[in-house]
Amino acid sequence: MIGIISFIGFTLLVAIIAYLSTRKTDENSSDGYFLGGRSLTAGVIAGSLLLTNLSTEQIVGLNGSAYESGLSVMVWETLAAIAMVVTAMFLLPRYLKGGLTTVPQFLARRFDVTTKTLTSVLFLTGYVVVLLPIILYSGSLAISGMFNIPELLNVTHNQSIWICVWGIGIVGSIYAVFGGLKAVAVSDTINAIGLLIGGLLIPVFGLMAIGDGSIFEGISTLTNQNPEKFKSMGGPTDPVPFYTIFTGMMLVQLFYWGTNQQIIQRALAAKNLAEGQKGLLLASFIKILGPIIVVLPGIIAFHLFEGTLENADQAYPMLVNKVLPASMLGFFAAVLFGAILSSFNSVLNSSVTLFGIDVYKQHFNADASERVVVKYGKIFGIILAISSMFVAPFIANAGGLFAYLQEVNGIYSIPILTIIVVGYLTKRVPAIAAKIGLISGSVLYIVSQFFLQPFFINKAMAKAEASGITEEAALALIKAKAYPHFLDIMAILFAVNIVIMLAIGKLKPRPKAYVQEYTKQVDITPWKHVKTIGVLICLIVVAVYIYFS
C-alpha cells in the first residue's frame, strides 16, 4: 500500500509542477503549443532529450542484451554522445537559422512541398505503426508486473494489460495533446532527475548484493568472475559487432538525434542557439554514463541469475525485485512510469506537430489561423492516441517485436537522413533527386531485409541442419556470415542514395542555387565553448572504448 501511495503521490507532483509551469505559455499559437514558445533552456532540453529517449523498451531490452552479450551493447548509448555533438555543431545552427518547427519544413524550402509531405508521412507512419503501440504495451507489462495488477485487482493478465495501456495512454494524452511541448518537456525534466536517481540505485544495490554490502567488493567480484562481459568491442555474433560503429551505427545515431522529429523538437524549442547547444552537449555527456543504468544491471543480473531465466528480457525486472528495498518500490515505479509516459507523450506531441503544420495546413486549409492549426492538431492527436490504445494490447511479444522493429525503422531512417544531408551540403541538387532518394532508399532496404536476407539465411540454415549444433547457435553464426549486418546494409544504401542524388544533380541541376535565409526568430549566436566541449566529449567516448577494449 505504501508503494502505491508513493507512486500516486510522485506522479501527481510531476503533473502539478508541469501545469504551473505552462500556465503563462500561449498554447493557441504554433510556437507556443508545438515549441513551448521557443523558451526552453539548456537544463530542460537536456532532461527532455534523455527522458524522451529512455523508456521501458530500452531499460528492459538493452539490459537484456547486456545479460546475453555484455558491455558491447553500450554502443547504443556512448555513440549517441558523438551524434549529439554533431547535431549541436552542424545541424542545430541551420535548423534555428531557418526558424523551423519541423524538420520536413526545411525539405519544403530546399526541395518542394511534395518532398516535405512524403517525409512527414514516413515519420507519422513510423510513429503510429511502430512506436506508440510498442511503448504502451511494453510499459504496461512493466507496471502490471511491478505492482502485480492481476492479483491486486483480481483480473486476468490480459485485462491488467488493457487497464495499464489505457491508464498510461490517457495520462500521456493529457500531457501531450492538451499541454503542448512545454508541459511534456517540464514533466520530462522532473522525471529525468527521478530516473537518474532510481536508475543508479539498481546497480548500486545489485553490486552490494554481490559484494555482501560493499559496492567495491561487488565490482571486484563482478569483473573478476565475468571478464568476458566487460569487452567493449562486440564480436561477429554479438548484436552490434564493433566494426559496425564505422558503418551504419553512426548513421542510425545521426538520424535519431539529429533529424528525428520526436527528439530534435526539444532543441528546436530552445530560446536561442547557445541554450540549444548547451542542452544537447549536457545530454550527450550524461549519455556517456547511460550504460550504468541500461547495461551494467544486465551484467549484474547475469552474475546473479545465470541459467535461471527463461529469456534475457527478464533480467532487469528480476534484478529490481531481488535487490530493491520494498519501501522504494513505489518511487521507482513512479519514475519508470514517468519514463514510459515521456516516450509516449513525446511521440504523440511530435505526431500532432507534423500533422498540424505539414499536413493539415499544407493540404487541407492553407488559410487556417494558428489557433485552427493547433485545434485540428489536437483532434488528430486524440484520434491517434485512442487508436494506439486499442492496438497496443494485441501486441503479443513486445520485447522481440521491438528488437525486430529497430531493424524495420531503417526503411525510412536512412532515406530521410540522406536527403537532409544532401540538402544542406549541396545547393543545386533538385527536388526530383530527393523524391527518388526517398523511394529508392526505402524500396532497396525492403528488398534487402525482407527478401534477400531470408533467402540467404534459409539457404544456409538448410546446410547447417546436419551439423549437430542447436538451431539458435546455428542461426547466430549464419546471420553473422550468410548476409551482411543490417547496419552495413544501411551504410551501403546511404552511399548509394547519395551517389544517385548527386548524379541527378549533375545531370539536371536546379536552375537557382539554394540559399538558406535567416528568419531571426531566435538568436543564432553559438555558445563560445561548443567546439571545446564537443571535442572533449568525443575524446571521452574514445577513451571509454580503449579502456574496456
The position carrying cell 550468410 is 482
3-state secondary structure of 18: helix
Cell of 165: 495501456
- Give the model's pLDDT for residue 398: 47
Q: What is the CATH number of the domain that holds 73?
A: 1.20.1730.10
- Region 484-508 average pLDDT: 94
The verdict on residue 347 lying in a domain is yes
Task: Compute the distance between CA of residue 356 and CA of residue 66 in angstroms, rounded to an integer.
Answer: 40
Which is more confident, 297 or 267?
297
pLDDT above 70 coverage of the chain, percent: 83
Burial readout 36-51 (b: 16 or more C-beta within 10 A, e: otherwise)? bbbbbbbebbbbbbbb
Q: pTM above 0.85?
A: no
First to last CA, the chain: 46
Beta bridge partners of 40: 270
pLDDT-based confidence at 27, cuts 50/70/90? very low
Instruction: State yes or no: pLDDT of 268 exceeds 60.
Output: yes
Task: Compute the distance between CA of residue 451 and CA of residue 449 in angstroms, rounded to an integer.
Answer: 6
- Give the model's pLDDT for residue 192: 67
- Region 119-129 average pLDDT: 78
Which is more confident, 383 or 430?
430
Task: Compute the distance between CA of residue 399 and CA of residue 316 in angstroms, rounded to an integer.
Answer: 13
Q: Measured at the alpha carbon of residue 377, what is the angle toward residues 375 and 378, in degrees to the nearest 5?
A: 65
6, amino acid identity: S
Domain extent for 41: 2-16+37-409+527-547
The predicted-structure confidence for 200-232, as pLDDT tens digits, reads as follows 899 999 999 999 999 999 999 999 999 999 988
Instruction: State yes or no: pLDDT of 493 exceeds 90.
Output: yes
Task: Compute the distance between CA of residue 507 and CA of residue 128 in angstroms, rounded to an integer.
Answer: 38
Q: How many domains is the chain partitioned into structurally?
A: 1
The verdict on residue 169 lying in a domain is yes
The predicted-structure confidence for 443-486, as pLDDT tens digits, reads as follows 999 999 888 888 887 777 777 666 666 656 666 656 556 688 88
The verdict on residue 354 lying in a domain is yes
Instruction: State yes or no: pLDDT of 34 exceeds 70.
Output: no
- Give the model's pLDDT for residue 25: 52
The verdict on residue 26 lying in a domain is no
- Region 154-163 average pLDDT: 86
Write 192-197 long-range contacts (CB < 8 A, 24+): 192/46, 192/47, 192/48, 192/50, 192/51, 193/47, 194/10, 194/331, 194/334, 194/335, 194/338, 195/50, 195/51, 195/54, 195/293, 195/335, 195/336, 195/338, 195/339, 196/286, 196/293, 197/335
Cell of 166: 489505457
- Give the model's pLDDT for residue 418: 95
The predicted-structure confidence for 380-393, as pLDDT tens digits, reads as follows 878 888 888 888 88
DSSP states of 454-465 as a string?
Answer: HHHHHHHHHHHG
- Region 45-74 average pLDDT: 83
